Structure 1
Amino acid sequence: MDQTLFGIVGRDRVVRSSDLLAGLRELAAADRDRQRGHGRTGSLGESTLAGELTLPGESTLPGESTLPGESTLPGGSTLSGKSTLPDKPPLPDLDGLDIFDACRHLAEQGATALLLRSARHQHLLPLLIDEVGIPVIGWRTVLPASMDNAAPAWHAMGSADSVNPMDLDRRLADYALKMAGRAARQAFRLGVVGGVGPAATVDFLSKVVRSTQAARDQDHIKVLLEQNPQIPDRTACLLNGGADPSVALYATCRRLERQGASAIAIPCNTAHAFVPRIASRLGIPVIDMIAETLDHIVHQQGSAVRIGLLATTGTVNSGVYASAAAQRGLTLLTPSAAAQAEVMEAIYGPQGIKAGHTTGLCKDALRVAMDELVEQGARVVILGCTELPLVFREAAIDVQGWRVALVDPTDVLARRCVALARA
């Protein structure tokens, strides 16, 4: 026996395939009764398809007429105007929020596809499909786009015959049976693990916006953000045995995945030391900011260029950049212990970036480390802590007579996220 479940928007409970067509027609009949009783059109199950247009072939269903040309659905059940479904009272007028809640309610009951008869709510189909996550089928799904604004005579696909509501309901049912169990194609959603650190997250999101070619708000990509500054400090864990951030990072990623994220971005260099353990447990990819940054440098500068790294000591000691650079045959340079101490003071000190400073002592300390890297031969410097681009916003600066390119991993990550959304 076929146990596939469907949801008809306007009914409280899901139905089996054997009751699908009859359920649609009972909804139409209940709506016609309501319209006659209240003298108006437009409800969840309405069968008037363009304002107050009444299609030919109206019926006095349910249960009072025999329908020619009925189709037999899987499971051996012939669907007619008669149904075993419980009687439903005429439906009240519902708005878009009611429709959305009804779809979610039916999906939670296990519906594999939803059917929306209401003509005046057909414009919601793309949004409902994207938000509910299962196919949502309406008139627009089964009729040609040329019929979107219904003329008095709707024509069948490939036929000159008028389309009557009974035939449209049959098409809805047949199409739903074909789509049952298929995942709906949803818009790309970028999941962002934020708060590591908070200012760097805001900076990253602004880069996502700037990297998007958009003429209107709706051209930008969807972003799911969890701003969680309570994730334990990554550097403290790597250097001093502090609290392990893996669980908090993983839990945040899982929440974003459950909310519908297509991929996850973590705008924190040091956090990528923990990503391999996390990514293998997720069903969606974590975009590797380290790999994307080095690939960007190779593409822009070639593989012979010597690369300097400014980052937290945790990032440096974790080897995430060194390992990725070695895989690509790149030369990676890091500051001396004394210069690295200056970098850490610039990031974590009382006059540091995490304390809200972007000029003065913190910038001077970073320039000391940068001078040393250039003396070692670096002609590209990675700003390998997501706070550093808050200090150096230039694409290149002059250091000891050399024009040195500055690479911002969060900018590279933002561009990659937009490219994935557009793929």
Structure 2
Amino acid sequence: MDTKKLGVIGGMGPQATSVFFEKVIENTAAECDQDHIDMLILNHATLPDRTKVILEGRRELFLDAVANDFKLLELAGVANIAIPCNTSHYFYDDMQQMTSVNIINMVDETVKEIHGRYGDGSKIGILATNGTVSSGIYRASCERYDMKLYEPAPSLQSEVMDIIYNDVKGSKNVDPSKLESLIHQLVYEERCQCVILACTELSCIELSNFYKECSIDAMEVLVNRSITLSGKQVASDK
């Protein structure tokens, strides 16, 4: 397969974009610099908060702000675009209409991988922003694959938002056990087959191997799909 340049619209948030870039490097089967992917990363940190825009019904604020990013990436000649932000995929169809370049659908790719592991009828938990949960993007995708999405109760959802906005985006003082406790509740108390880490801020938290096995990180799925669509091999597949 020919190698292709990857475009990235990042900044949602900046640390998550940095982690995405590092994971692409780590997960690419490469023995020298030239074996890696050519990438153009736009760290557009001033994009409007996706959760706020969705909850307020003001989608045009985000779409107008991101429109020029697609033009820049088209001019740069990228073959695919990755957007390491789950909540932004609420606008996926609108964004894809803005550009002729393929936007990798993080949500559908993640749910497709889960279905391949757990099959029809699976009960899947989700940890994400209020915007992602309320948008229903993962719920709709799970339904297409005949799986049931379990959305956390308000008290647990409040804990998720606290980790995302106060711990990761804010103080950057993250205790992995807080996230692991939430995964534990969904798997052992709510009987979910697995839990989707559907916020790239959560991908910045290093979990123990046990809880990694209990969850599927949507960013990890996006990373691996970005590598293969760029004509490279995922390191574990080499």
TM, length-normalised to structure 1: 0.51
AA at the equivalent of 2:149 = L
Say whether the 8 Å CA contact 1:395–1:407 is kept in structure 2: no
* Residue 197 (structure 1) shift: 0.7
- Structure 1 residues 378 and 224: alpha-carbon distance in aligned structure 2, compared to 1, 3 A threshold: same
Say whether the 8 Å CA contact 2:127–2:195 is kept in structure 1: yes
- Structure 1 residues 409 and 394: alpha-carbon distance in aligned structure 2, compared to 1, 3 A threshold: farther
- Structure 1 residues 410 and 213: alpha-carbon distance in aligned structure 2, compared to 1, 3 A threshold: same
Write out the 4+ residue segments of structure 1 that deviate beyond 6 Å after TM superposition. none
AA at the equivalent of 1:266 = I
- Structure 1 residues 258 and 396: alpha-carbon distance in aligned structure 2, compared to 1, 3 A threshold: farther
Between Structure 1 and Structure 2, the one with more helix by share is 2
Percent identity of paired positions between Structure 1 and Structure 2: 35
AA at the equivalent of 1:390 = C
- Aligned position for 1:283: 100
Cα distance in 1 between the residues matched to 2:56 and 2:173: 26
Aligned with 2:42: secondary structure?
Answer: strand
* Residue 274 (structure 1) shift: 1.0
AA at the equivalent of 1:210 = E
- Structure 1 residues 373 and 188: alpha-carbon distance in aligned structure 2, compared to 1, 3 A threshold: same
Cα distance in 1 between the residues matched to 2:228 and 2:3: 14
- Aligned position for 1:136: none
- Aligned position for 2:235: none
- Aligned position for 2:51: 235
Cα distance in 2 between the residues matched to 1:358 and 1:380: 26
Cα distance in 2 between the residues matched to 1:303 and 1:357: 38
AA at the equivalent of 1:384 = A
Say whether the 8 Å CA contact 2:183–2:211 is kept in structure 1: no
Cα distance in 1 between the residues matched to 2:208 and 2:83: 23
Cα distance in 2 between the residues matched to 1:412 and 1:395: 17
Q: Deviations over 1:318-361 (max 9, x none)?
A: 01100100000011111101111111111112xx210142533x
Q: Number of residues paired by the alignment?
A: 229
Say whether the 8 Å CA contact 1:335–1:372 is kept in structure 2: no
Cα distance in 1 between the residues matched to 2:28 and 2:86: 23
- Aligned position for 1:409: 218
Cα distance in 2 between the residues matched to 1:264 and 1:412: 14
Rg larger in structure = 1
Q: RMSD between aligned alpha carbons?
A: 2.0
Q: Where in structure 2 are there 5+ consecutive unaligned residues?
A: 233-238
* Residue 371 (structure 1) shift: 3.8
- Aligned position for 1:154: none
Aligned with 1:274: secondary structure?
Answer: helix
- Aligned position for 1:314: 131
Cα distance in 2 between the residues matched to 1:356 and 1:339: 20
Aligned with 2:103: secondary structure?
Answer: coil
Q: Deviations over 1:65-111 (max 9, x none)?
A: xxxxxxxxxxxxxxxxxxxxxxxxxxxxxxxxxxxxxxxxxxxxxxx
- Aligned position for 2:202: 388
- Structure 1 residues 363 and 393: alpha-carbon distance in aligned structure 2, compared to 1, 3 A threshold: closer
Say whether the 8 Å CA contact 2:123–2:148 is kept in structure 1: yes
- Aligned position for 1:38: none
Aligned with 1:359: secondary structure?
Answer: coil
Determine which of 168, 185, 207 is the counterpart of 1:372: 185
Cα distance in 2 between the residues matched to 1:311 and 1:251: 27
